[in-house]
Structure 1
Amino acid sequence: MLKLILHRLALSVPLLFVVTFLTFLLNALSPGDLAQTILQGQGTPAQVAALRHQIGLDQPLIVQYAAWAGHALHGDLGSSAYTGEQVWDLVVGRMGVTLSIMVGVLIVCLLAGVSLGILSALKGGAIGRVIDVLSLGGLVFPSFWVALVFISFFAVTLQWFPATGYTPFADDPGMWLAGLVLPVLAAGLHSITSVAKQTRDSMSDVMGRDFIRALRATGLPTSTIVVKHALRNASLPLVTVLGLVMVAAITGTVFVEKVFVLPGLGSLAVDATQKFDIYVLQGVTLFFTVLTILINLIVDLSYGWLNPKVRVS
């Protein structure tokens, strides 16, 4: 197991460099730059050139990236060009909001998605068709549109939940939870139906196998057969989908945090992109990439835990 972990982490190191360099490159290719944004378009060409030289933007791109990467390897992610705050402190201070949304999406997908999938596999009929319709709707309607609809109906019309803003857990646990309900549902609505469809398909396949019929013949209750035997055998494809759901939730948080005005890493990335604050953007990109690597690693380890054949191979 340790060998697998080390192997996966070693393969992930080049990915970190590729993703962060591409972020650096795309930021450099986009119209405008940090110097012009700081001067708000009011500086003379000489002032812009002087500021570019001061912050190192006149150096070749590879030199700029090498300097950032060298500092990053020593734990220094730089500082914001606008606030002067350390990027590490900015990322750590906001990661709790983003992780809260992602964990919420995972919990909702496991509770609602798996339950609907099992129910659909056992009962079939109308429930399966409803799940298919909801899945299609999740593909058609993006998360930011769903977020706006949720705000309009649940926050403005019904006034059940706050429309925007974030309350730290330490200040008020109840308001913290209430403030996360709509963002989590907006980010995870399509994921719930995806998990439900995968659970339904996998469970339908497993429930038709010979060992399930043998267990039924012994007189075991259906609930015991489903929970202890069928669900475990159907879980490998489900784990794969859950991994994809969590990776997709990273993108979903970017839009959802902006709509709900949440101080998370997604909104931080958007603000940094608009301001060409490259060090902050690099810090967020690095965190999201590491998070993606960890999610994939957990999925790989789950395969071995759920299926001894995978662990042996």
Structure 2
Amino acid sequence: MFGYVIRRLAMAVATVFAAIVISFLLVHLTPGSPGAIVAGADATEAEVAKANAELGWDQPLWTQLTAYLKNLLQGDMGTSIIDGQPIQADLLTRLPVTFFIALFATILSAVVGVALGVTAAVRGGHTDRGITVGSGIALSLPAFWVGVLLVYVIAVRADLLPATGYVPFTVDPVGWLQSLLLPVITLAVGGAAVVARTARASMRGALRQEHIRTLQAVGTPPWRIRYLHALRYASVPIVSVLGIQFIVLFGGSVIIENLFALPGLGQASQSAVAAHDFPALQGVVIVATLVVVITNLLLDLVIAALDPKVRTA
């Protein structure tokens, strides 16, 4: 197990390093320069060149990359070329918004999806067909459309939750939870459908295993067979889907954050692209990569704990 963890850690570090280098090179291959943004639209070529020199943009690419990596190791992501504020502080403020939306949506997807998938596999018949059709319908619904519908029904008509806006946890914990509920439910609709289908297929396969038939033959209680032995056997693909689900929800938060006016990383990335704020965009990429890599690492470790055969793969 120790060797497996070391290999995964090495892959994680290599992935983060590759993402940093690739994002750095892509920014430098993009037409334009930060000096043109700082100097303004009416600036002369001399003024743009002067601004680029002040930002270090005129230095050799390797020199810039070395300095950038050195600053990152010291915890410095640079400053925004739009407002001159430290990028790291802004992203650390936005990160919990996106993180908790993705986390709560994944948890809700897991609870609802596993319950529906296991029920469909165990009961079969009309229940199975109904859950399968329902999950198919949920998968076909765009998240943006689901969000608009929920805003109209729950926020506008019923006035149960705020339609938009964000309340920090430190200001009002109850208001914080209320401001996240609609985005979380919006994302969990499709997520629960994916988990339900995976849980159904995995559970049906688990119930056909030879050791499950042996347990049935020796008189093991049905509930113990289904919800302990079979569900444990089926847990590996379910956990894998949940990990991927969190990554997808975390990385695809731009539309939802803009719909519900949430100050998360998705909104920050859109603002950075629109304003050509290259350092801020690089910062968003690095933070998102770190979250995805850490999630993948934890997912690998959980799957290895559930299935020892994975450790030797």
Under a length normalisation based on structure 1, what TM-score does the superposition of the two structures give? 0.89
Kept in 2: contact 1:27–1:276 (CA 8 A): no
- The aligned counterpart of 1:24 is 24
Q: 1:20 to 1:206 in 2, by over 3 A?
A: same
User: 5+ unaligned residues in a row in structure 1: which ranges?
Assistant: none
- The aligned counterpart of 1:287 is 287
Which deviates further from its counterpart, 259-268 or 138-147? 138-147
Matching of residue 226 in structure 1 with residue 213 in structure 2: no
- The one-letter code sitting in structure 2 at the alignment partner of 1:236 is V
Kept in 2: contact 1:131–1:193 (CA 8 A): no
C-alpha deviation, 1:34, in angstroms: 2.9
Match runs of 1:95-110 below 5 Å = 95-110=95-110
- The aligned counterpart of 2:111 is 111
Kept in 2: contact 1:188–1:249 (CA 8 A): no
- The one-letter code sitting in structure 2 at the alignment partner of 1:113 is G
Q: 1:38 to 1:246 in 2, by over 3 A?
A: same
- The aligned counterpart of 1:206 is 206
Q: How many residues are matched?
A: 313
Distance across 2 between alignment mates of 1:141 and 1:25: 37
* Offset from partner CA, 1:196-241 (integer Å, 9 cap, x none): 1010001011112232233234444332222211100111111211
Which deviates further from its counterpart, 109-118 or 256-265? 256-265
Q: 1:26 to 1:137 in 2, by over 3 A?
A: farther
C-alpha deviation, 1:311, in angstroms: 4.3
* Offset from partner CA, 1:116-157 (integer Å, 9 cap, x none): 110111122344444444554455443333323322332223
* Offset from partner CA, 1:66-103 (integer Å, 9 cap, x none): 32122212322212223333222222222211221121
Q: 1:18 to 1:310 in 2, by over 3 A?
A: closer
Kept in 1: contact 2:37–2:81 (CA 8 A): no
Kept in 1: contact 2:109–2:195 (CA 8 A): yes
- The aligned counterpart of 1:53 is 53
Q: 1:126 to 1:19 in 2, by over 3 A?
A: farther
Match runs of 1:35-74 below 5 Å = 35-74=35-74
- The aligned counterpart of 2:276 is 276
User: Pairwise CA RMSD of aligned residues?
Assistant: 2.4
Distance across 2 between alignment mates of 1:301 and 1:290: 17
Where 1:261 maps in the other structure, the secondary structure is: coil
C-alpha deviation, 1:29, in angstroms: 4.1
- The one-letter code sitting in structure 2 at the alignment partner of 1:261 is A
Kept in 2: contact 1:24–1:278 (CA 8 A): no
- The aligned counterpart of 1:34 is 34
- The one-letter code sitting in structure 1 at the alignment partner of 2:192 is I
Kept in 1: contact 2:139–2:194 (CA 8 A): no
Kept in 1: contact 2:167–2:176 (CA 8 A): yes
- The aligned counterpart of 1:170 is 170
Kept in 2: contact 1:143–1:252 (CA 8 A): no
- The aligned counterpart of 2:253 is 253
Distance across 2 between alignment mates of 1:197 and 1:149: 24
Q: 1:19 to 1:53 in 2, by over 3 A?
A: same
- The aligned counterpart of 1:5 is 5
Distance across 1 between alignment mates of 2:131 and 2:237: 18
Kept in 1: contact 2:258–2:267 (CA 8 A): yes
- The one-letter code sitting in structure 2 at the alignment partner of 1:102 is A
Q: 1:67 to 1:203 in 2, by over 3 A?
A: same
Q: 1:259 to 1:203 in 2, by over 3 A?
A: same
- The aligned counterpart of 1:148 is 148
* Offset from partner CA, 1:281-300 (integer Å, 9 cap, x none): 22221121111111111121
Distance across 1 between alignment mates of 2:78 and 2:182: 34
- The one-letter code sitting in structure 2 at the alignment partner of 1:192 is A
Where 1:41 maps in the other structure, the secondary structure is: coil
Kept in 1: contact 2:198–2:237 (CA 8 A): yes
Distance across 2 between alignment mates of 1:37 and 1:210: 66
Q: 1:49 to 1:255 in 2, by over 3 A?
A: same
- The one-letter code sitting in structure 1 at the alignment partner of 2:248 is A
Distance across 1 between alignment mates of 2:142 and 2:31: 27
Q: 1:188 to 1:56 in 2, by over 3 A?
A: farther
Q: 1:59 to 1:231 in 2, by over 3 A?
A: same
User: 5+ unaligned residues in a row in structure 2: which ranges?
Assistant: none
Distance across 2 between alignment mates of 1:123 and 1:224: 15
Where 2:49 maps in the other structure, the secondary structure is: helix
- The aligned counterpart of 1:302 is 302
- The one-letter code sitting in structure 1 at the alignment partner of 2:113 is G
C-alpha deviation, 1:163, in angstroms: 1.1
Where 1:104 maps in the other structure, the secondary structure is: helix
